[in-house]
Amino acid sequence: MKNIAVLQVGPLMPVVQESITKDYGAVRLPDGQEERAEFLGQHGGTFDVAVTSGKFGVGTDLMRALPNLRAVINFGVGYDTTDVAQAFERGIIVSNTPDVLNDCVADTAVALYVDVLRGISAADRFVRRGDWLSKGNFPLATKASGRKVGILGLGRIGKVIARRLEGFDCEISYHSRNPVAGVDYRYAASPRELAAGCDVLIVAAAGGPGSTGLVDTGVIDALGPRGYLINIARGSVVDQDALVDALLSGKLGGAGLDVFVDEPKVPQDLLELENVVLLPHLGSGTHETRAAMADLTLANLRSYSEDGSLVTPVHP
């Protein structure tokens, strides 16, 4: 087993934090800017492994301050907060925790799908406010089954979402960078073409510079005033200002959002809309999935400490 120096970047699940501290003597990077700068100035060259999460990552400046870094172990499937371009250029290997969270994230997407079309959360508020007694029946909603659904990003999670929605008799189409082998769903050549041909657009694309603003004004306009947008990917994939404007002006029928650009901040305008369902980035937030993510994170660290390899490496 290698003698590795481990840096913890940001808070982690207690079981992960306790394990890396006990087994590897991990040191926590200070949160304060001045304390962090002083710490890195004194100890930045000490660490060859960083353990972090998708929320915090190892960004450009931090990676530069770790000249001997050799591996980034990431808790989470998303790694867009880590400067992977610099990592690969320097020969730093990066891992994430794919597959183990597919089911729960897909379940969240389907929950948002049903909720925003049928108005489940809005109806709950309707009852709690006493409106059922004072105003009568809740307004009619939109049928959830049998709809045309476009999935932006037919990767691991996107495929699971599609299988779930087949049970709703939905007609599935998708757009990814390239057509996906082994699927019968209709392929759309662009996000705009995908949006124009569906009732509901589900965003499941990977985050990062390559997908920033992928869902822009043109895509939202193509979806139209009777269309719905579901985002369980990253807030950065959708032009959030354009989305808010479309919802306020009635150019989009509704949205179900688990992710936002500047979490945990949510645009104030969205808080007032009854046709928008807002979740606090809980896509993978179940006991079972988080335990599996923790196990895989620790397995990656253990593998690196033993032979310098990773169980689930991210590839350039």
Radius of gyration of the chain (CA): 21
Left (φ > 0), alpha (ψ -120 to 50) or beta: where does 104 sit? alpha
Specify whether 18 is catalytic. no
Evaluate whether 53 touches 12 at the Cβ level (below 8 Å). yes
Type of residue found at 273: L
Specify whether 287 is catalytic. no
Instruction: For residue 80, give both structure tokens.
Output: 């867009």
Evaluate whether 172 touches 149 at the Cβ level (below 8 Å). yes
**Which position among 263, 274, 288, 306 bears the catalytic label?**
263
Alpha-carbon distance of 155 to 101, in angstroms, equals: 13
Cβ-in-10-Å burial (0-12, 13-18, 19+) of 115 comes to buried
**Which position among 147, 175, 192, 234 bears the catalytic label?**
234
Cβ-in-10-Å burial (0-12, 13-18, 19+) of 140 comes to exposed
- For residue 160, give the nearest of 245, 283, 45 by alpha carbon: 283
Type of residue found at 251: K
30, 35, 41, 43: CA torsion to nearest 10: -40
**Which position among 70, 147, 175, 281 bears the catalytic label?**
281
Q: What is the DSSP letter of 48?
A: S
Q: Give just the sign of the alpha carbon dihedral 42, 64, 238, 258.
A: negative
Specify whether 175 is catalytic. no
Residues labelled as active-site residues: 234, 263, 281
